[in-house]
Every structure is written in structure tokens, then in C-alpha cells.
Structure 1
Amino acid sequence: MSQTYLTTEQLSQRIQYNPRTIRNELVNVCLFEGRHYVRPFGRRKLLFIWEEIEKDMLALAPADASAMVYNEVTNG
């Protein structure tokens, strides 16, 4: 299975979070080493695994999000 590795800056563009927010607030709270990111060659740089992050983001989305949006639009 091929995986897409992203730098912090590339991930920030995809999920619309500031790179500093990713490093300071999401790493080790929502994003975990070995699952969502790796440290290649034991260095400081983080490479994020896009497929794992996307899978977890979609799993945490409310199942009836489209119904909630529809209700807000129609019931104003």
C-alpha cells in the first residue's frame, strides 16, 4: 500500500490549520507518532501520513452532518 507523506506545511494547506497549531496543539494530542506521523531517520522533522489522518478525520465527523446542514438551511 502506497502512503502519502506530507510535511507540516503541506498538511496545513490540506486541513487549513496553521503549521504552528499542528505542531503545538495537534501532535501527540490528536495526531500520534507511528500512526499519523513518523520521524524519518530519528530526526526532528515530522512526516505526516495523509491517508491515516484523513481516515480518522472522516471517522470523527458526525454521521448525520448533511442532515444537520439541511435542517439549518431549510429551517433557518
Structure 2
Amino acid sequence: MSQEYLTTAELAERIKYDPRTIRERLKDSVLLEGVHYVRPFGGRKTLYVWEAIERDMVKHSRSSGMSLPMANGKVCNG
């Protein structure tokens, strides 16, 4: 199974967000380690899994009504 891994800068370019926003606001709240990103070889470098991010962006944009994504990957329906 082949997955596409992106750096923070590459992900920012692809989803049209500032890299700082990804690092400070999305990582560990919306983007979860082990699901949306990995730290290869126990290092500091973060690589994002494009397929997981794309899947969850589409899934959350199709949600009906008022819903908020939660850090655990679930959705809170208003």
C-alpha cells in the first residue's frame, strides 16, 4: 500500500493554508498523529499522510447541519 507523504510546506500549498496555521492550530487538534501524520524514525520531522487528510476533509465538508470536528476524530453535532 503506497501513501503520499507531504511536508508541512507541501501540505500548506495543497490545502491553501499557511504552514504556521497547520503547525500551531491544526496539528494535534484536527490533524492527529498516527492518522494524519507520522514522525518517521522517531525524529522531529513531521510528514503528513495526504490520503487521510483528503478523506477527512471531504467527509467533514459533507456533514449536514452544524457540526464541529473534535480532536478525537469524532464530530460534535450542534
For 1:2-48, what per-residue CA distance to the aligned partner results, in whole angstroms no more than 9, with x for missing partners? Answer: 10000000000000000000000000000000000000111111000
Between structures 1 and 2, the one with greater helix share: 1
5+ residue gaps, structure 1, are 65-76
Count of matched residue positions in the alignment of Structure 1 and Structure 2: 64
Which one has the largest radius of gyration? 1
In 1, the alpha carbon distance for the partners of 2:55 and 2:62 equals: 14
Matched, 1:2 2:2: yes
Aligned to 1:19: 19
Matched, 1:56 2:66: no
Superposition CA RMSD, Å: 1.2
Aligned to 1:69: none
In 2, the alpha carbon distance for the partners of 1:39 and 1:63 equals: 30
* Greater than 2 Å deviation, 4+ residue runs: none
Identity %: 56
Aligned to 2:68: none
Q: TM-score, structure 1 length as denominator?
A: 0.80
Between structures 1 and 2, the one with greater strand share: 2
